[in-house]
Amino acid sequence: MSSTSNHPIPSGLYGGRLTIDLDAISDNWAYLRGKLNGATECAAALKADAYGTGQEKAGQALFSAGCRTFFVAVPTEALALRQTLPDAVIYALDGLFPGTAEHFVEHRIRPVLGSFEEVVEWAEFCKVAGKSFEAAVHVDTGIHRLGLAPAEFSAAMNDPDLIGPFEPSLIMSHLACGSTPEHPMNDRQLKLFREITEPFPQFPKSLANSAGVLMGSDYHFDLVRPGISLYGGQAIETATNPMKPVAKVEARIMIVRDVPKGDTIGYGARHTAKRALKNAVVAAGYADGLLRRASASDEQSGGFGMIGGYKAPILGRISMDMITLDVTDVPEKLLQRGAFVEMLGPNVAATELAAYAETIDYEYLTSLGQRFERVYGPLT
């Protein structure tokens, strides 16, 4: 919905604006790389449209900053990224979908082989082709999603019919509890990963997502795969977030109206005005990724927006296309029709909103704005 070919859509017609700061993404990448010793490569997770920030633009920015290895989820994302970055190393975390090896090879996409069957299929493809094509092997150290079970991993790695036709370009695993570093699962996964991969010192290894990078050098190995931290998110729940904010969502005021004391606001009539209120209705809703679970009611406060330094709490339910905000204490001059309210950004951290919505900032970022005007530039 960005623009029609000959007629760019005038800014004033958009209900909201999503601003993405690509320099902040690059700075965040450089910050994380600064945590590594020189031998460890800092890659980047670019899946889900670079966590909602735009795969193409974020990929170009990160490549310019020096990043050379990228992780996406599905093969279609990998194909799109190949168009953007002809020289990058691209891994597809979801691995090899059946019967598709030729497409991976054609576009130089490396599958992260996540099951014994996938390893067999890739090895057979390489054997028939008479050439070893690059792929990672994923070993499960406890998250029980993708990855060969430890015993399967050892069996595969020691089978000359499998490892021989191809040689893993990376051996990796994924942390289940990185967001809580004190969780004993982290140490357990680290030990198990070391133990199972030790017999194969010739292959590069990777364990860390963003949280793993921040947890320290024990977790770094040869390559790290941060995602959320690049996009300003909070990888570790209990620490202050060192990353720069990357995205700002603003929604336009359509109307400011009075709500008499005792009247209710929004669908379901779940939120009663405890005093006479002034209410601003803005043109963004859950269809724009402002999650409905951050709604407010008489029982529960919800999320909020910010206008010129003033906090404007959400009133009532978040609708598909609009949100009502309490602006009773906001000066009149900030409440012009058409003015923008920050709904997420430097002053409204996704992490903070996520607490109201009982989710994580990952969900906020990846849900954002197909309907907003998209602007790349500084957030101020």
Ligand X SMILES: *Cc1c(COP(=O)(O)O)cnc(C)c1O
What does the binding site for ligand X look like in residue numbers (CB under 6 A)? 45, 47, 93, 174, 209-211, 225-229, 235
Nearer to ligand X, 174 or 252 (CB): 174
Minimum distance, C-beta of residue 315 to ligand X, in the bound complex (Å): 33
User: How far is the first Cα of the chain from the last one, in angstroms, to the nearest whole number?
Assistant: 25
**Which DSSP string corresponds to 258-323?**
EE-TT-EESGGG-EE-SS-EEEEEES--GGGT--GGG---SS----EEEETTEEEEEES---SS-E
Asked whether 148 and 156 are in contact (CB, 8 A), the reply is yes
**Which DSSP string corresponds to 326-340?**
E-TTS-GGG--TT-E
Buried b (16+ CB within 10 A) or exposed e, 18-52: bbbbbebbbbbbebbbebbeeebbbbbbbbbbbbb
- Tell me the C-alpha to C-alpha distance, in Å, between residue 215 and each of 189, 201, 236, 284, 367: 13, 23, 9, 37, 27
Residue 272 burial (CB < 10 Å; 0-12/13-18/19+)?
Answer: middle
Asked whether 189 and 173 are in contact (CB, 8 A), the reply is yes
Nearer to ligand X, 141 or 319 (CB): 141
Identify the three-state secondary structure at position 115. Answer: coil
Minimum distance, C-beta of residue 140 to ligand X, in the bound complex (Å): 11
Nearer to ligand X, 226 or 369 (CB): 226
Nearer to ligand X, 17 or 174 (CB): 174
d(CA 24, CA 241): 14
Task: Give 247's Cβ-side CA count (13 Å radius).
Answer: 33
Return the active site residues.
47, 267
Beta carbons within 8 Å of 376's beta carbon, 6+ residues apart? 19, 20, 21, 22, 54, 57
Minimum distance, C-beta of residue 196 to ligand X, in the bound complex (Å): 17
Q: Which residue has its beta carbon closest to ligand X?
A: 227
d(CA 90, CA 72): 7
Pairing of strands 136-138, 170-172: parallel
Minimum distance, C-beta of residue 188 to ligand X, in the bound complex (Å): 18
Minimum distance, C-beta of residue 153 to ligand X, in the bound complex (Å): 15
Cα dihedral: 185, 191, 192, 198 (round 10): 160
Nearer to ligand X, 228 or 251 (CB): 228
Nearer to ligand X, 294 or 365 (CB): 365
- Beta-carbon count within 10 A of 156 CB: 22
Nearer to ligand X, 62 or 93 (CB): 93
CA 314 from centroid of its chain's CA atoms: 25
Identify the three-state secondary structure at position 242. Answer: coil
